[in-house]
Amino acid sequence: FAHRLQFTIEPRTRELIDIALPMLRRITGERVRNEISLLLAEKSPEYGIRQLQRMGILKAIHTGFEAPEHLIGLYKRVREYIAEPLWHDAYWHVLLSHLAEDQIRAIGERLLFGQPFIEGVVATHRLSYRLPQLSEPSPKVSEIVALLDGVPELSLEMANVLMSEPAIEHIKQYRQTWQHIKPIANGNTLKSLGLEPGPQYREILSALRNAWLDGDVTDNTEEQVLLGQLVKEAQRHGTE
């Protein structure tokens, strides 16, 4: 409110706020989360969040809770790169994903976020801060796909906010093209070749997909050759 209405908090009011900070521990996580969510609905919530940090309110909610250093710029990037219906969740991802995983989980539980949301923020943390392979200029496509398969869609979108090139381009290529590349063969194909169902199905199909992704296979004929080799190898191991 101080930012929205352009007024300064008086010293005595600030003293009362400081005295009341320990009381935050007694307020339910849902209520605290809802209050912050109302703030995130503001036109420029970064200034309100920064004020909460300056006043020690984030730390009072949880000792590990602090805003990222470049909060203002990151929130502006959210509005530039993320669709407006997702701004609220994206703001939370920015606010939490720079923290260590255990802190993300602890704060998420304190604020009574659902587990899927917490895991989504953890995914954003891992993607943005713990996968240096994404920043390599010419990585193997199959390795990038292995890292990104299963990552929530919002976490992938947050790359435009939290990451830089070439990682942004790699994730863009994954979303637009790479994740959709599949081998022509499937489980029925393997069964028709006399291979018994089992873990080798996943291994063979994964190897075929990787070959397509990395350019080692470029057409059906080349896939059939590789498939024959993989099936023979699996059958040989099955008889050992």
**HSE-CB for 183 with a 13 A CA cutoff:** 28
Collect all residues with Cβ–Cβ distance below 8 Å to 177 and sequence separation of at least 6. none
Which residue matches tokens 């020690």?
A: 56
Q: Enter the tokens of residue 23.
A: 């009381």
The pLDDT of residue 7 is 42
- CA–CA gap between residue 47 and residue 188 (Å, rounded): 57
Cα-Cα end-to-end distance for the chain: 73
Number of H helices, E strands in the chain: 15, 0
**HSE-CB for 128 with a 13 A CA cutoff:** 26
Write the DSSP assignment of 2-65 as a string of letters.
TTTTT-PPPHHHHHHHHHHGGGGGGS-HHHHHHHHHHHHTSSSHHHHHHHHHHTTHHHHH-TT-
Q: Enter the tokens of residue 167.
A: 């990682």
The pLDDT of residue 16 is 46
The pLDDT of residue 1 is 44
What is the 8-class DSSP label of residue 119?
Answer: H
The pLDDT of residue 236 is 83
What is the 8-class DSSP label of residue 197?
Answer: S
- CA–CA gap between residue 76 and residue 142 (Å, rounded): 33
- CA–CA gap between residue 56 and residue 113 (Å, rounded): 22
Q: Enter the tokens of residue 139.
A: 């990585």
- CA–CA gap between residue 130 and residue 153 (Å, rounded): 18
CATH 1.10.3090.10 fits 11-179, yes or no: yes
**HSE-CB for 137 with a 13 A CA cutoff:** 0
Least Cα distance to 224 among 200, 195, 188, 189 occurs for: 189
Per-residue pLDDT of the chain (240 residues; tens, 9 = 90+): 445 544 455 565 455 455 556 667 778 889 999 999 999 999 999 999 998 998 888 999 999 999 999 999 999 999 999 999 999 999 999 999 999 999 999 999 999 999 999 999 999 999 999 888 899 999 999 999 999 999 999 999 999 999 999 999 999 999 999 999 999 999 999 999 989 889 999 999 999 999 999 999 999 999 999 999 999 998 887 655
Least Cα distance to 98 among 56, 49, 137 occurs for: 49
Q: How big is the CA angle at 88 (ends 87 and 92), to the nearest 5 degrees?
A: 110
Least Cα distance to 159 among 206, 110, 72, 90 occurs for: 90
Domain boundaries of the chain, sorted by first residue: 11-179, 182-239
